Structure 1
Amino acid sequence: MFLVPHQILWTFKSFSLNNSYNVLLQSMIGSFLARAVVDEVLPPAFLSNRNNTHPGDGVVEKAVSLLSREHCTARLEKVWGPGDGRPVSELKAEMDQLLKEYLLSRELDEAASCIREMKASHFHHELVKRGVTIAMEEDGLDHTSNSSSLDAMAALFSFLVRNAIVSEFQVSKGISRLRKILPDLKLDVPAAPAMLDEFEEMAREGGCLPAKTTNC
């Protein structure tokens, strides 16, 4: 069972409203909230709204303080790291390289091995987001349903889900994040909305996502 967005927000609100934390816990949870903003799990408005409605909240004040520091993103990327202590920006660059190499080689086993070595299972939604974006850009206006980069990317994530390397939840979250940035994607790839729909359908057929349910 996975949390949906409103449950995630409720959980973070619970963190910030708990006044029983000692100073050490306030610092740790404040760092966690700040990192969540950097990783785009929480919108920045969450902290400003909490600060306005609950002034003096030590956890929120800690998070706001961390986000207000110079070079805060670079600093917070190293608070815990995405999996093995690397900055998020470094992991994203590695993902891009891996995905582009996969599209050239179409070697599923090699790509899967590299993804395992990243040790960033909770960040696989970013892998999905970047993979589909790269595939869209590769196909561009010449996209067809035959041997396209989008097909290859769907095949990769189907393989990863079947082998329990990437979860259905992470694929779903990646697609959800892509839908939020479709207006920007359309600037470079006008067919992006249709291509994302196609990828989602291929993902369902490949077992990456639960099958659609119909009401009888």
Structure 2
Amino acid sequence: MAADCEAWLNANPFEAEDLSDSFVSGDEDSAGLVLTNKNITEINGNWLTSSSNSIHEARLKAKAKRKLRKNSSRDSGRGDSLSDNGDVVRGTSAVPTSPKSKLLDRKSRLGKGRGLPKKGGAGGKGVWGRSGEVYEQEEVDEKDPNYDEAQGNCVYETVVPPLEERDFEKTVTPIVQEYFEHGDTNEVSELLAELNLGPMRSEVPALAVSLALEAKSSHRELTSRLLTDLCGPVLSHSDMENSFDKLLRELPDLVLDTPGAPQLVGQFIARAVSDQILSKSYIEGYKGRVDCEYARAALDRAAVLLKMSMGGLRIDTQWGTGGGQRSVVQLIKEMNLLLKEYILSGDSKEAERCLRDLEVPHFHHEFVYEAIVMVLESKGEKTFKMVLQLFKIFSLSSIITVDQMRRGFKRVYMDIAEINIDVPRAYFILEQFVDNSFSMGIIDVKLRDLCPCRGRKRFFSE
């Protein structure tokens, strides 16, 4: 073995300078041992052919890498780094933070970067995307194996099927009946516009008029206003004419439920002509072509009303106005006329009908007040007894509720002092009227005890 080593040394002699450079200093690791000759160099297991200066530079780079490895094991890469040319770059070490403290923080926790959210705020789970980002319309790929030529020209829209005749009344009747409650024609127009009426468009006015024939006068007035507002936006003039033609043909059936249907339909026709829904020649077009007596009666009624309108009659007020649309002064006047007519005729059923036609159940306390004041101002017992009898009938039939009756009596109690100025015996008459009302069951004990009474005058001798 020794002979072999000696033979190899004789074949590869070392020079002094090579021998001095071939050993690593004491502070270097054995892994970085460098064995060199003039042309061949080994650095960390890599064989290189370079000059002595390049060998020295390679040795320095290897030493710097070893120091970097030691530092990186301590501060996890937050310290120094090595640049591309081998220079050591000093970096600021960031204080590590716990990810639990900022669960929703989208910023980098390494202390590097500009502190902006990841991917501009468009990355991560549960993120809708970058703020302000607008997605463009996806173009159809003609090379797609599922591509269909007809698909590119399709227009998608909501299609409402036409309303069938069997479903017409079930759909439109609740709309009209609800309109009688709120009186908003715009809402009815919107609801009808959402329906695909189709050929049933001309049936809407006929259905509304037939429902109004069985309703009150205020509902008929609302129906006339509805027809005026629907003509144009929803219905055409030809639809209106076809609808009234149908009403004239169905009059024999309408008379069975509403005996006064011919006169009422005639008033609707006259109002429609006045509101320019129907043409002025509509009535003249039926002359000599009507065989039904009910249709002739309706057309004659419409013609008479139109002639009277030329003389100053206002057709737009022929139905009257509902209770909620009348002024308080007008309501009080009509209640006084109602009471006076009842005192003269004694017909309680007619008084009940007139009070119902006013359509003001919330204002019946005024009727009670005016009736009691009429009793206090009257002379004789006729008015006293008749008003008591009328109150008894209205309380039993619940036309005047207990609350409205109580409010009317309390209003008289509050104003009795002023009434007594004009009627000296007002306290005495009121006390008798309250006692009789309690005995007949019109009022209760509490309301009777609230009745005011004037103290007796003391004589001079006392």
Measured against the shorter chain, the TM-score band is: 0.5 to 0.7
- The answer to whether structure 1 residue 174 and structure 2 residue 408 are counterparts is yes
Tell me how far 1:86 sits from its aligned partner: 0.4
1:89 match = 329
- CA-to-aligned-CA distance 1:144-202 (integer Å, 9 cap, x gap): xxx43122111111110101100122111111101111111112211111211222222
Q: Unpaired runs of 5+ in structure 1?
A: 1-80
Larger RCO, structure (CA 8 Å, separation 6 or more): 1
- The answer to whether structure 1 residue 127 and structure 2 residue 367 are counterparts is yes
- The answer to whether structure 1 residue 138 and structure 2 residue 397 are counterparts is no
- The answer to whether structure 1 residue 105 and structure 2 residue 345 are counterparts is yes
Q: Which whole-Å CA distance do the structure 2 matches of 1:82 and 1:153 have between them?
A: 26
Q: Structure 2 matches for 1:146-157, cutoff 5 A?
A: 147-157=381-391
Q: Structure 2 matches for 1:21-100, cutoff 5 A?
A: 83-100=323-340
Tell me how far 1:207 sits from its aligned partner: 2.2
Tell me how far 1:206 sits from its aligned partner: 2.3
**TM-score normalised according to structure 1 size:** 0.54
Helix, strand or coil for the counterpart of 2:378? helix
Helix, strand or coil for the counterpart of 1:208? coil
- The answer to whether structure 1 residue 195 and structure 2 residue 195 are counterparts is no
Q: Which whole-Å CA distance do the structure 2 matches of 1:181 and 1:209 have between them?
A: 19
Name whichever structure is richer in helix by fraction. 1
- CA-to-aligned-CA distance 1:41-65 (integer Å, 9 cap, x gap): xxxxxxxxxxxxxxxxxxxxxxxxx
2:233 match = none
2:398 match = 164
Q: Which whole-Å CA distance do the structure 2 matches of 1:212 and 1:123 have between them?
A: 22
Determine if contact 2:368/2:409 at 8 Å carries over to the other structure: yes
**TM-score normalised according to structure 2 size:** 0.26
Q: Which whole-Å CA distance do the structure 2 matches of 1:149 and 1:102 have between them?
A: 10
Q: Larger C-alpha radius of gyration, 1 or 2?
A: 2
- CA-to-aligned-CA distance 1:123-148 (integer Å, 9 cap, x gap): 11110111111122122xxx4xxx43
Tell me how far 1:90 sits from its aligned partner: 0.3
Tell me how far 1:212 sits from its aligned partner: 5.6
Q: Which whole-Å CA distance do the structure 1 matches of 2:327 and 2:446 have between them?
A: 37
Tell me how far 1:82 sits from its aligned partner: 8.6
2:276 match = none
- Calculate the aligned-residue CA RMSD, in Å: 2.0
1:205 match = 439
1:34 match = none
